[in-house]
């Protein structure tokens, strides 16, 4: 039975076709490429779709319209699922993408650790060795920081590169944003006892060199969590 798994983020839509525990296809698109996405999905075709959506109801409706007649299930965080216990007093207030990533991380971090999503927003979540989500942090992602500076100051960041210290404005802006995010991650990790960390998302590779040795990139963590949810009973 082929299932379409969808990670609909603020900027991109990642997806995977899965059958019998194996990935048959993986892809991603920006929100403005729905026509191209429709042509790809119609060639699959899945029996059902299971997704995480943090981009709003309008985007969700647009995605469902790409596969008329296909049953869609959009997950929400719950009190517990797949061995992970949600530490939020109101469990559904936790983003579905963070919830799915925590569920995938449970298999990869047997001793607990930190899960970092480096996208439009940067989230840092803490999972203990018993699968308890202890809480986390949300801050602007790299592109969001740069866009904010562009909109609220006279700075117009160009193609900067990391430098320490930076000797031109473009490098200074990019380097400052990287140091702000990596510094926040390092501080959280240090306060938590420097556990193993997983990082994923569009800016993961850019941030990785500025983080500690116990951080590794893990691709498609939200999709892997959706697979766990779809293949195991609550």
Structural domain span for residue 212: 110-225
Q: Confirm whether 102 is domain-assigned.
A: no
Residue 159 has pLDDT above 90, yes or no: no
Structure confidence at residue 124 (pLDDT): 98
Q: Confirm whether 86 is domain-assigned.
A: no
Question: What percent of the chain has a predicted confidence (pLDDT) above 90?
Answer: 87
| pLDDT, averaged across the chain | 94
> In terms of domains, do 135 and 195 share one?
yes
CA 219, 225, 230 angle in degrees (round to 5)? 135
> In terms of domains, do 62 and 117 share one?
no
Q: Per the structure block, which two tokens stand in for 104? A: 């995938």
Structure confidence at residue 154 (pLDDT): 81
Q: What is the pLDDT of residues 93-116, one digit of tens each?
A: 999 999 999 999 999 999 999 999
> In terms of domains, do 128 and 198 share one?
yes
Residue 156 has pLDDT above 80, yes or no: no
CATH of residue 35's domain is 3.30.420.40
Residue 158 has pLDDT above 80, yes or no: no
Residue 233 has pLDDT above 70, yes or no: no
> Is 203 part of the annotated catalytic residue set?
no
* Beta bridge mates, 115: 125, 198
Q: Confirm whether 43 is domain-assigned.
A: yes
Mean pLDDT, residues 130-158: 91
Instruction: Report the predicted TM-score, pTM, of the whole model to 2 decimal places.
Output: 0.94
Residue 155 has pLDDT above 90, yes or no: no
Q: Of the given ranges (5-19, 29-43, 128-142), which has the lowest mean pLDDT?
A: 29-43
H runs (alpha helix) in the chain? 34-41, 57-66, 96-108, 142-152, 169-191, 204-207, 221-231
Q: Confirm whether 145 is domain-assigned.
A: yes
Domain count, the chain: 2
Structure confidence at residue 112 (pLDDT): 97
Residues contacting 205, CB < 8 A, separation 6+ = 217
Residues contacting 106, CB < 8 A, separation 6+ = 82, 83, 84, 127, 131
- What Rg do the C-alpha atoms of the chain give, in angstroms? 19
Q: CB of 131 within 8 A of CB of 84?
A: yes
Q: Confirm whether 214 is domain-assigned.
A: yes
How far apart, in whole angstroms, are the C-alpha atoms of residue 117 and residue 95? 12
How far apart, in whole angstroms, are the C-alpha atoms of residue 7 and residue 74? 10
Annotated catalytic residue within 97, 125, 171, 203: 97
């Amino acid at each position: 039975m082929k299932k379409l798994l969808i990670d609909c983020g603020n900027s991109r839509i990642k997806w995977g076709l899965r059958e019998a525990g194996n990935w048959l296809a993986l892809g991603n698109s920006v929100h403005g490429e729905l026509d191209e996405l429709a042509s790809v999905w119609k060639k699959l075709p899945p029996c059902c779709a299971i997704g995480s959506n943090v981009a709003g109801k309008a985007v969700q409706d647009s995605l469902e319209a790409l596969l008329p007649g296909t049953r869609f299930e959009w997950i929400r965080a719950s009190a517990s699922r797949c061995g992970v216990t949600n530490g939020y007093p109101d469990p559904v207030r936790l983003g579905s993408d963070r919830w799915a990533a925590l569920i995938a991380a449970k298999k990869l971090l047997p001793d607990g650790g930190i899960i970092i999503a480096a996208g439009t927003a940067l989230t840092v979540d803490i999972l203990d060795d018993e699968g308890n989500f202890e809480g986390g942090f949300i801050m602007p992602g790299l592109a969001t920081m740069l866009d904010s500076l562009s909109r609220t100051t006279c700075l117009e960041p160009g193609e900067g590169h990391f430098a320490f210290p930076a000797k031109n404005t473009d490098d200074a802006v990019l380097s400052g944003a990287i140091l702000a995010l990596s510094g926040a991650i390092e501080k959280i990790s240090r306060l938590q006892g420097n556990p193993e960390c997983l990082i994923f998302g569009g800016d993961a590779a850019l941030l990785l060199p500025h983080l500690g040795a116990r951080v590794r990139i893990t691709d498609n963590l939200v999709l892997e969590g959706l697979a766990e949810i779809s293949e195991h009973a609550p």
